[in-house]
Amino acid sequence: MQYLHPVITVELFPEERLALLHLLNALPDEQWANPTVCPGWSVHDLALHLLGDDIGIISARRDGYRELRTPANLDLSQWANLVAYINQHNEQWVQAMQRISPRLLCEFLQMTGEAIARHFAQLDQFAIGVPVHWAGPDPAPVWLDTAREYTERWVHQQHIRDAVEQPGLKERRWLAPVLETFVYALPQALRQVNSPLDTTVQLVVTGDAGGTWSAVRTDQAWALSTEAAREPDARVTMDQEIAWRLFTKGLSKDEALPHIGLEGNSVLADKVLDMVSIIA
């Protein structure tokens, strides 16, 4: 994959966690049971999921620990298998941790948040690391994997804020890196479209944190660009609020369509709406 300028998010991890803890520590007991957009999960469940993500990264990447019960015969290179395995894994964790009180959960999240921030800060962000699966199967730069982890935490914090009717972290410094990371899913969304060389698909996200990106068909694959050399064959325009929710399946395509502008080739434009920037 061709990469644009690096999306460096390391410095945002401590502040994102502080904002989350400030929110959670102020919640009355009854709001921990509020349902979130994540099916079947309450605020308490989603916070437990964030804790599980932290523990998984610290254990596997910092400490080199691999859990012994990962099925040896499960082909995780298949997208459906990967999604099913991760969903089952996450659900098992959340159910097993139900005895953790909100107060103790916040204490754990503070501890793991500090450890996560230290871990990412000491990595060479420009080395080649693990694949970011929704962007493609190849090993990706560490900065993209780090940014992916930032987007995971940012998105779930927004889910919690929505559930308790609190404003989100929507300023440019928070949201722009999320959108800049999500756009790396665009070539993957178009990968099965056979188009002539130089076919161009443009995504325009309006708002303070938005931007304009293009996917251009090369002789090998679709390549990302921030500068289109020609008028796009398809253009999709949406605001930043619709964008992050659509690309994380917080909105369905049908729910988002009335708020989206589509121009040009309808097949190409429709593929943009199928873009998914999470494992789901």
Summarize pLDDT for 97-154 with one digit per residue, the tens. 999 999 999 999 999 999 999 999 999 999 999 999 999 989 999 999 999 999 999 9
Whole-model pTM? 0.95
Determine whether 57 is exposed, middle or buried from the number of CB atoms within 10 Å of its CB (0-12, 13-18, 19+). Answer: middle
Confidence of residue 70 (pLDDT cuts 50, 70, 90): low
- The pLDDT score that the predictor gives to residue 207 is 98
Average pLDDT, whole number, for the chain?
94
Least confident of 73-82, 103-112, 176-185, 270-279: 73-82
Are the C-beta atoms of 185 and 131 separated by less than 8 Å? no
Q: Which domains occur in the chain, in start order?
A: 12-169 (1.20.120.450), 184-273 (3.30.1050.10)
The kind and range of the H/E element at 111 are helix 102-121
Q: What confidence tier does 1 reach under pLDDT thresholds 50, 70, 90?
A: low
pLDDT band at 82 (very low <50, low <70, confident <90, very high): confident
E strand or H helix at 130, and its extent?
strand 128-131
Distance of CA 253 to the CA centre of its chain: 17
Residue with more model confidence, 160 or 69:
160
- CB-based contacts of 247: which residues, under 8 Å, 6+ apart? 182, 185, 275, 276, 277, 278
